Amino acid sequence: MKASGKHSKRSGPASTQAPAFVVVTGLSGAGKSHALRALEDLGYFCVDNLPIALITTFADLTLSGRREMRRAAVVVDVREGRELGRFPAVFRRLKRRYGRRIRLVFLEAADAALQRRFSETRRPHPLGAGRTVAEGITEERRQLLPIRRLANQVVDTSTLTVHELRRRVLESAGGARTVAPLVVNVTSFGFRRGVPTEADLVFDVRFLPNPHFVSSLRRWSGRHSRVARYVMRAPAATRFLSLTTALLRFLIPQYIAEGKTYLTIAIGCTGGRHRSVAIAEALGARLARAKGITLRVRHRDVAEA
């Protein structure tokens, strides 16, 4: 067991009410591990392969209102063995007790997709003892059919990327409004100390006039108004900001749709004290009102430059 944080028989729009207790189940190789990680990112306390005998107790602890853990998710699948047959009755009791606060998400995929995934990972099917992978998949479908019939949502992952599956699970669990925003870090740095290892996008602003060579400005950083004005008065600076802002306003919604949670934009100059700092501050101001993001502006080398 590994801990980490009405009926629809088809995949469809998820309820906008966030459930407090989510059961993820489905076929082996359909993406249950990815789904559990997505729920963990959303703030759920997640347990993989929790024994069915403990599910009711775990749900009661989560939903009783007398605990620190406010949302939880568990994975239930054929690894339960003979105990799996008890799950439908357990789930029905929980639904009667807690209603919409309980949700069951069932992941499946076409046989060809599942066989390809098992071939790529070289992992045996859980029901593969004495069977081929194809025979294991057929038997697993038969054993899980009573559970599939109880599902609030069935998601076919045959053609979904990992990022698309993540988005579907997050929407199912909490609705689009509760999906964690994209954290955008705008970081200034000096090339002499190297490009930040976490950078996703790197922009070099060493083409701009350098305040370091102006004796009256050298002692201040790019956060000082005089230095910022000096940098921004260059036509290339305003043009760079306009083009870069337009690019990022295009890219950010694409990253959000993909399911990306962090984006680091690194702005570099020679020492990381003047030009990169001024541009990072100006870029942050332009992105401050972008929807669906949490914005942070920091300066890695401003004190050391």
Segment 231-259, tens digit of pLDDT: 999 999 999 999 999 999 999 988 887 76
If you average pLDDT over every residue of the chain, what do you get? 86
pLDDT(45) > 50: yes
171-181 pLDDT per residue, tens: 776 644 445 67
Read off the amino acid at residue 176.
A
Q: How confident is the model at residue 14 (pLDDT cuts 50, 70, 90)?
A: very low
267-304 pLDDT per residue, tens: 999 999 999 999 999 999 999 988 888 899 999 998 86
Question: Considering 145, 178, 211, which residue would you say is the last residue of a domain?
Answer: 178
CA dihedral (150, 26, 71, 15) positive or negative: negative
Shared domain for 69 and 134, answered yes or no, is yes
Rounded Cα distance, 59 and 22, in Å: 9
pLDDT(12) > 50: no
Which pLDDT does position 8 carry in this prediction?
39
- Residue-range definition of the domain harbouring residue 137: 2-178
The arithmetic mean of pLDDT across residues 63-77, rounded, is: 79
Shared domain for 21 and 163, answered yes or no, is yes
Q: Could you count the other beta carbons within 10 Å of the beta carbon of residue 17?
A: 11
The arithmetic mean of pLDDT across residues 220-233, rounded, is: 95
Rounded Cα distance, 210 and 191, in Å: 14
Residue 213 included in any domain = yes
**Among 135-139, 144-148, 177-181, where is mean pLDDT lowest?**
177-181
User: When comparing pLDDT for 131 and 112, which is higher?
Assistant: 112
**Residue 303: left (phi > 0), alpha (psi -120 to 50), or beta?**
alpha
What would the two tokens of residue 57 be? 């107790």
- Cβ–Cβ < 8 Å for 95, 21: no
DSSP classification of residue 101 = G
Shared domain for 206 and 64, answered yes or no, is no
Residue 116 included in any domain = yes
Q: Which residue bears the tokens 């942070």? A: 296
Q: How confident is the model at residue 160 (pLDDT cuts 50, 70, 90)?
A: confident
Shared domain for 120 and 94, answered yes or no, is yes
Residue 26 included in any domain = yes
Shared domain for 108 and 200, answered yes or no, is no
Residue 118 included in any domain = yes
pLDDT(17) > 70: no
Shared domain for 197 and 128, answered yes or no, is no
Shared domain for 142 and 199, answered yes or no, is no
Shared domain for 22 and 137, answered yes or no, is yes
What would the two tokens of residue 112 be? 């060809």
What would the two tokens of residue 19 be? 């459930």
Q: Taking Cα atoms as reference points, which of 190, 184, 209, 224 lies closest to residue 302?
A: 190
Number of domains composing the chain:
2
Residue 47 included in any domain = yes
Which pLDDT does position 179 carry in this prediction?
53
Helices (H), the chain: 32-41, 52-63, 87-98, 111-121, 133-148, 162-174, 225-232, 235-258, 275-287
Angle at 299 between CA 293 and CA 301, to 5 degrees: 150
Distant-in-sequence, close-in-space partners of 96: CB < 8 Å, separation ≥ 6: none
Shared domain for 159 and 35, answered yes or no, is yes
Burial 177-213 (b: 16+ CB within 10 A, else e): eebeebebbbbbbbbeeeebeebeeebebeebebbbe
Residue 117 included in any domain = yes
Residue 186 included in any domain = yes
Shared domain for 155 and 55, answered yes or no, is yes
Q: What is the CATH number of the domain that holds 34?
A: 3.40.50.300
Question: Considering 161, 178, 195, which residue would you say is the last residue of a domain?
Answer: 178
Shared domain for 201 and 142, answered yes or no, is no
Shared domain for 14 and 122, answered yes or no, is yes
Question: Considering 157, 178, 199, which residue would you say is the last residue of a domain?
Answer: 178
Residue 304 included in any domain = no
Which pLDDT does position 167 carry in this prediction?
78
Which pLDDT does position 11 carry in this prediction?
43
